[in-house]
Amino acid sequence: MSRVVKKRKLDEIRQDRLYFDSYSDVTIHEEMIADHVRTNTYRMAILRNSESIRGQVVLDVGAGTGVLSIFCAQAGAKKVYAVEACSIAEQAMKIVKHNNMEDRIEVIRGTVETVDLPETVDVIVSEWMGYALLHESMLNSVLYARDKWLKPGGVILPSKAELYITPMIDPVVEDRLHFWYTVKDQYGVDMSCMCDFARKCVMNSDITVNSVTCEDVLSHPARFAELDLYSVTPEELRSVKGQFRCESFGSSAVNAFCVYFTVTFPCPDNTPPSLVLSTSPCKPETHWKQAVLYLDAPVEVVQDTPITGEVIMYPSEENARHICIHVDYSIGEQKQQSKTFSIPDWSSEAQS
């Protein structure tokens, strides 16, 4: 094994350890379970699919505290394998026992890629989504479980994911930049020359996870990608891309793009309609919030100004669990611009 390959393998092991360690603390589980939109949508989806779950074997990928496994048992599952790689699995075992479910739920400590189940399964359930859907997501693990453990014709919850983009205005950023023009009136020192530097610092290449209000969205959303969990491959996740076209609602200044996702749960015979968990800024807030991608400078638009382009999402070369988003875009008559965004890897800075 070459030194480069060996180093890359060690980096992957370290990245996995950091990732799983981040789920060993109570805070992240408190945040996820307290997210009513997330937790209740999963609960309703599992109960609505009770016909597919009752008397069947279920695999919960990345089970965490085991709440989804318990929902499946409540829906009538004969057996649930709750696979969890981090130490929170010990708490999941206590919760399962506390709810008198230990005869039907087996918590297994390990990654789904390394555990050995005693049987194939009829249903896979997983809350695998990350920021902007794919950042630190477990989707590759779900696909591994699908290909290795799911019976032909089995059910995956959720079964589909969709990605959307829309232009937006972030008024807080504009207020922060305008601040430098107010210093002279307050203190007698003209610091307006700081504005360009501040713009470069604030409107940088980071994927900013933030809550976007519906009022700051400047057009109808455009869907640029759809993932069918029954058929998508790990290779396809290495480049999730699509084109988009939006038309602005009215006169404003676009200073960012907002990216968000939905996941859809199937319902038997499609009646009632499928259940959708949405992270849209025009829907109730979730802990995923939205991904904000700042332009280098705001662009003025009027009603029906076309905003077109292409989005490409792909794993970071430094950390395969981290996502990069590249956007090629044109606003009105402006020539095409390009910008690549990523979420800062704070863990690597802390370790260095």
Distance CA 227, CA 288 (A): 18
pLDDT for residue 352: 40
**Which of the four pLDDT bands, split at 50, 70 and 90, describes residue 198?**
very high
Which segments of 128-275 does DSSP mark as H helices, in order?
139-149, 171-187, 195-202
pLDDT at 11 over 90: no
Q: Which residues are catalytic?
A: 127, 136
pLDDT digits (tens, 9 = 90+) for 146-171: 999 999 999 999 999 999 999 999 99
DSSP state for residue 112 in the 8-state scheme: T
Strands (E) across 158-251 are located at: 160-168, 208-210, 222-228, 240-247
| Nearest Cα residue to 123 out of 98, 95, 104, 150 | 150
pLDDT digits (tens, 9 = 90+) for 306-349: 999 999 999 999 888 899 999 999 999 999 999 999 988 654 44
Torsion of CA 231, 57, 73, 139, to 10 degrees: -30
pTM metric for this prediction: 0.90
**Which of the four pLDDT bands, split at 50, 70 and 90, describes residue 1?**
low
Query: Helices H, strands E: what count in the chain?
Result: 10, 15
Strands (E) across the chain are located at: 57-61, 79-84, 105-109, 121-125, 150-157, 160-168, 208-210, 222-228, 240-247, 252-265, 275-278, 290-301, 306-315, 323-331, 337-342
Residues 110-129 have a mean pLDDT of 97
Percent of the chain with pLDDT over 70: 90
pLDDT digits (tens, 9 = 90+) for 244-300: 999 999 999 999 999 999 999 988 766 667 899 999 999 999 999 999 999 999 999
pLDDT for residue 332: 95
> In the β-sheet with 240-247, what is the strand arrangement from edge to edge?
240-247, 306-315, 323-331, 337-342
Q: Which domains does the chain have, with CATH numbers?
A: 3-157 (3.40.50.150), 162-342 (2.70.160.11)
CA distances from 182 to 126, 186, 292 (A): 50, 7, 27
**Which of the four pLDDT bands, split at 50, 70 and 90, describes residue 224?**
very high
| Host H or E run for residue 281 | none
Distance CA 255, CA 299 (A): 7
